[in-house]
Structures are given as C-alpha cells and as structure tokens.
Chains A and B, each alone.
Chain A
Amino acid sequence: MNGSAEQSPAPAGDFLKKTPDGPVISADGIRRLALIRKCREREVMTELLRQDIWPERFSRCRGTLSAQSLVRLLSIKVLVAGCGGLGGYVAEFLARTGVGALTLCDPDSFEESNLNRQRFCTERTLGMAKAEACRNGILDIASYMDVTVHIEALDEKNLPVLLSGVDVVMDCLDSLARKKMLETAAAHAGVPCVQGSVARNEGLVFFDGSRRLPFSIIYPDEETGNLEGASMHTHAVTAAGTAALMVSLLLRRLCHDKNDDGRLFHLDLSVPELETLCFSAGD
C-alpha cells in the first residue's frame, strides 16, 4: 500500500478526500483499489485504517470507535441466529458498524404479520426466506461483506458446523428451548454469545463471557416451553431497541474491553427505562 509509484500504479492518495477530521476514502475508491491490487475491499479498508485513513462510510463513527476497533470489527465473523424481529436489526446494526462477515440462519419466510416489526420484511419480500431477504438488505448496505445464508432451523447436528470459524453469536431466536441449545453449543465451541429476547414493550439482553450458561442460571427450570406465540406480540420499536442493546454489549466487549458478565439488562420502553439487574449463580 505504501510502495513506490512503480510498484503501485494507483496509490491510495489518488482516491483520498480531505475532511476536517482527516483523510477519507469513498466506497468507489476502495472498490477500485481492491480491483487494481487484486485483493478484497476489506483488506484495503484495513490497511488504510491502520494509517488512520477512514472509509468515508465509517467516518461519522469517529469518536465512538477507534480505527483499531474498526479493523477488528472488519475481521470478525458473526452468526446471527434468527433473522426476524431482533435478527434483522442486529444484522443491520452489525453491517453499519463495520463487521466483516455474517452467517444468517433462519428457517422461516416472511408473512404479513411480520410487517409490523421485522427489519427486512416488506410487501415485496413477503414469502421470501427471512435469511435470504436479510442478506439482500445487508449487501445493499455493505456489498463488501461476506454473508452466508442457512435456511434451516438450528439443531444439535448443524450447530457445530454453523459455529465453526465464528467469533461471536447473536442469539435472536424466538424459543427458550432453542436458546438454551444454542447457548450450550456456543459454550462448548468456545464462542461467546450475546443473548436477546423481546416481549411486548420489553427486552432482556445479556452478554456473559465467563463460559457459564447464563440462560440456565436465569431460567433454571428445564421446561421452558416454546414461546413463539409470545414473540409475535411486540413491535418494531422494542425489537430495534433490544437489538441496539445487543450490539452495544458486543461493542463494549470487543472495542472497549468492558465486561458485562453477570448483568441482565432490562429495557422497558413502556416507561421508558433501562435497568441493570444481576443474575446470581457463580457470583
């Protein structure tokens, strides 16, 4: 990247724009550099960020993220389990924040009753697989991302494959039984898991990296049943707010080295308030 003009026929400088905050490079400039240098766009972005040259798309993140944090986000792969109410917003927030690769998993297709809250459900995508529509939406935002789609329910057979090579899981599932299964599989694979749930105007979120099984601590009863019915009764504001909280906890851990082990965040938008609770086992 810093080679001579002979080695590099199109130095990055040709594509840079000056701003009061420092030099930035447009998405088109990144694409052209990647083509010329026969590398991936994320590699171009990473190399430029190391020189504190920001992709223009992330320039307004300055002050909230460091260039080093953004480099880290571009390098990680996140499994988004469930692409409905929470998962659609989570995937969007991850894409807009700079995460480089997503695996999207959901067995369902969009129905009309999803229009009230699910990020990529539109009149045009009704009937389309949620994970597929989510991928299309994500690539519209950030075409350089690696996005793979699995139109299938998580189970004990496919989880080890889906978790392979994943840095973080975002649990956006709508069944406590499957959440517990995912938590156990992720802990077994050593993959940290951000967990979120919604009902009505409220969301519960936690990110415990201690290798405990927080879901099993919070819900010690074995028989939690399937709560898909309950998940239908919420709206876009709660889904988006809870998803934002999930991504915030991820960023706190990855980019700011903050530890939220043992903390359960309760968002109640009917008040509105955000309460921090402590779950007990292992304290």
Chain B
Amino acid sequence: MSRAGPLLPMSVQIKLSTTLRDCVPGYVPETGLFIDLAEGEATLTAGELAQRIGLPLEEIKIVMINSRQNDLASPVRNGDRVAYFPAVGGG
C-alpha cells in the first residue's frame, strides 16, 4: 500500500527521478511515496519494492538507499529512503 506520507517507523520512503515518475500516477515530488511494510516483512529488496509500485526494472539505472548507491538486489528496511533513477544523460 502506498500513501503520500509521512515516514513512519514501519514504512519506506520512495523518491523517483524524471521519467520514472510517469509510472506512478499522482506522484508528488516534494514528498515521494511511502510504503508500509507488512507486519513480519522485515526486509525486501530494492527490486521487489520497485515492482510493488509498478516501476519497470529495466528502466532503473541507479538505486540510492539512504543517499548511498546500491542496486536492485540490495535489502530495504523499515525507515529507509530509497531513490530510483533512470539513465540521465541529457546535455
């Protein structure tokens, strides 16, 4: 289940960049999304989290968890802030 906020101890904040925002109708850049993890769902991967909100994995090129580079296989925990970027190469 996703919602507009705030970040609770049992939730994950998701921020989307540029074209990935098109995949989530109503995405609000200021707040991002908040996903509440189910009880007992201690961790899931960044890829599983992305799929849960409908992001096409092949378009995700950069994964940042708590502002550090990770990848789609990296575990996400409650309270984490996860940012997904497509390739950004315009000049």
- Name A's B-contacting residues (CB within 8 A): 82, 84-87, 171-176, 179, 196-204, 217-219, 221, 224-225, 227-228, 230-234, 264, 266, 268, 270-271, 275-280
Closest-CB distance, A247 to chain B (whole angstroms): 15
Q: B50 at the A/B interface (Cβ < 8 Å)?
A: no
From A85, A219, A224, A277, B91 is in contact (CB under 8 Å) with A85
A199 contacts B91, CB within 8 Å?
no
Give the distance in Å from the alpha carbon of A204 to the alpha carbon of B64 in the complex: 13
Q: B17 at the A/B interface (Cβ < 8 Å)?
A: yes
Rank and list the top 3 A-B pairs by shortest CB-CB distance, nearest first: A231-B90, A174-B91, A227-B89
CB nearest neighbor in B for A171: B91
Total number of residue pairs linking A and B with CB closer than 8 Å: 95
Contact partners of A173 in chain B: CB under 8 A: 89, 91
Residue with the highest number of chain B CB atoms closer than 10 Å, among A174, A196, A199, A228: A199
- The count of residues in chain B whose C-beta lies closer than 8 Å to any C-beta of chain A is 20
- 27 pairs, CB–CB < 8 Å, chain A vs chain B: A172-B91, A173-B89, A174-B89, A174-B90, A176-B87, A196-B91, A197-B89, A197-B90, A198-B91, A199-B88, A199-B90, A201-B18, A202-B18, A202-B88, A218-B69, A219-B61, A219-B87, A224-B89, A225-B87, A230-B87, A231-B90, A232-B90, A271-B30, A277-B64, A277-B83, A278-B67, A278-B69
Residue with the highest number of chain A CB atoms closer than 10 Å, among B18, B19, B62: B18
Give the distance in Å from the alpha carbon of A232 to the alpha carbon of B90 in the complex: 7
> 1/0 per residue B56-91: CB within 8 Å of A?
000001101001111000000000000101111111
Closest-CB distance, B47 to chain A (whole angstroms): 14
B69 contacts A175, CB within 8 Å?
no
Q: Indicate whether A84 sits within 8 Å of B91 (C-beta atoms), given known contacts A199-B19, A230-B19.
A: yes
From A196, A270, A277, B29 is in contact (CB under 8 Å) with A270
